[in-house]
Amino acid sequence: MCGICGLWQRDGVIDQVALTRMNDVQAHRGPDDSGAYLSADGRLGLGFRRLAIIDLSPTGHQPMRNEDGKLWIVFNGEIYNYPALRKELVRAGHEFRSTSDTEVVLHGYEEWGERILDRLRGMFAFALWDDERRTLLLARDRLGIKPLLYYWDGKRFAFASEIKSLLALPAANTDLDHSALWDYFTYLYIPTPKTAYKYIRKLPPACYLKIESDFVSEGKLAPPIKEYWDVTQWGTSPLSRSDAAEAVRAKLRDAVQSHLIADVPVGVFLSGGLDSTAVTAMAAGAQPDPLMSFSIGFDVEEHSELAFAQLAADTFGARHFTRTVSQPDFDSALARMVSLYDEPFADNSGLPTLAVSQLAASRVKVVLAGDGGDETMAGYFRYRRWLEIAGEDFGSPALRHWLFERFALGALAPIAGWPKVMGLVYSGQLHVRGKEGADRYGALVCPVQSFQKPHLLPDLAREFRDYDDYWHFRRYWRDDLDPISRMQYVDLKTYLPDDILTKVDRASMAASLEVRVPFLDHEWVELAASLPSEFRLDKSIMREALVGMVPAEILNRPKKGFSSPVLDWQKPQLRNGARLAGSALWAARVFDTWQTLCGSPT
């Protein structure tokens, strides 16, 4: 787990001081070592910060080259099947100087070119420079576990693990992308490929970008991006229910144990929920020393799950460590949390994720986490709610939409009565019933509705009057899939990488901690997707697979997300005459804090 960056100059040599600055601002991602490479003509440079996990010796130093120095790589992540790939490459005649997984990727590219991506099992973001062909390859793992962003202004191409590294470029164009800021108040994150800045973009998951020197020299507008993987086999498995349960149990065990490969101790995040407990169950006993587990609680009882986490830890003999977070912790952490993400990001569970990462980092360098279980095993309540609403629908879509506009936003929505009206809207799901397809899903899952956004961003309301707020969902909305698979596919492509995995990466790396997510092992994802949707819904097949392994109190308890009592700690606030509550208020506060930190007006 590391931080990577690089700079390619169209005219003349790169600014080496700028490259050093880009590398240094990511020092938290890799405090163990740093390195840089400069091409012979001085036009390209690579930077690296190392968190040493596999091959702790100097031979794991990066940037890393091949035998003749024609290929150079900077790599962030872990490849869990690298021992098998290494054996295959040795048989093909390759010679290794280290025991690192990075060198396997380097030699794998020599042997298979871009097809190496199909062979990698793990999480990764890397940049590989071919000095002989003058090409630069950037690639990101299948599910988007590790980040990779790039900057292109027609003269300089740069990439990094975090936006702050790209903002360290001298005279970087930091014009804001107003459409991204408008999107933020829909999703509470900025969707891929956008960032808050026009000239900085995110490389999508399961994609690679390969550019050649003529691209940089000609100043083309956008680099070509290709997708190398997707989830395609939904509901195609012929397995019976009992066989499916056995396959789920076996594949989860395989995924977890493959994720334990390391030259340092590995712990677990343990919330007391089903997913983290399942990971703990599969990891317990697989290491010579007792497993270390880490949990966060809150001073608001309804948000604290410490009792369930302790039960799981006791069941599996883990050394358990806890911390309780209170309102003073929140007040001091907000500005830091906003600065971690470099752009507006309003998932309030980022605060406890940062706290539990700091707790774990005091004892280990690597943890396993249960993220991805809800997306791969249809665990979110909204999946079932979608089916319930579909069964309750009345009238035509046009009629339902007219009733919503007329009833909720017209006669009953003067500003003075806003809170009461919003209670009626949300309790009756009126904002959802008036829509279909991706629009309905957006209305169901997005905390801030389209009709609220003009109150939050009045200066942009006119510019985006006819804007498609749910374009991000619409890109992946597949009418050929059953409803459950359709929503899962959208979440795997949008909410998972842009919210959940972004939150975990930035919070954990701020503490110099590597987080691994076995539920996002691509072999597990493919197996889960192949099962009938009724097996997946509410994680029913996974619960069957874990009977006798996970305590019944945890196995049968209702889902509870990793939330924090941020809204309990907030005070009512008026903004532009409209009373905003819940997520809208939190989004506004995060946005205001971000503006203060970056000094950028809307």
**Any idea what the Cα angle at residue 305 is, between residues 304 and 308, rounded to 5°?**
160
Residues 6+ apart with CB under 8 A from 52: 32, 33, 60, 263, 264
Tell me phi and psi for residue 597, to 5 degrees: -70, -40
Could you give the 3-state DSSP secondary structure of residue 138?
Answer: strand
Query: For residue 100, what are the CA distances in angstroms to 133, 142, 262, 365, 465?
Result: 25, 21, 10, 17, 52
Q: How far is CA 141 from the centre of its chain?
A: 11
d(CA 369, CA 516): 6
Tell me phi and psi for residue 496, to 5 degrees: -60, -60
Q: How many CB atoms lie within 10 A of CB 374?
A: 25
Residue 101: enclosing H or E segment and its boundaries?
helix 101-112
- Whether 325 contacts 296, CB under 8 Å: yes
Active site residue 2: yes
Q: Are strands 44-50 and 33-38 parallel, antiparallel or unpaired?
A: antiparallel
d(CA 457, CA 448): 12
- Whether 30 contacts 4, CB under 8 Å: no
Residue 89: enclosing H or E segment and its boundaries?
helix 82-91
Could you give the 3-state DSSP secondary structure of residue 536?
Answer: helix
Across-strand partners of 466? none
Residue 352: enclosing H or E segment and its boundaries?
helix 350-361
CA end-to-end span of the chain: 35
- Whether 3 contacts 75, CB under 8 Å: no
Tell me phi and psi for residue 42, to 5 degrees: 75, 5
d(CA 197, CA 448): 22
- Whether 188 contacts 40, CB under 8 Å: no
d(CA 535, CA 248): 11
Tell me phi and psi for residue 251, to 5 degrees: -70, -35
Q: How many CB atoms lie within 10 A of CB 103?
A: 25
d(CA 161, CA 25): 11
Which of 2, 5, 207, 446 is an active site residue?
A: 2
d(CA 484, CA 377): 10
Q: Are strands 156-160 and 207-212 parallel, antiparallel or unpaired?
A: unpaired
So which residues are the catalytic ones? Answer: 2
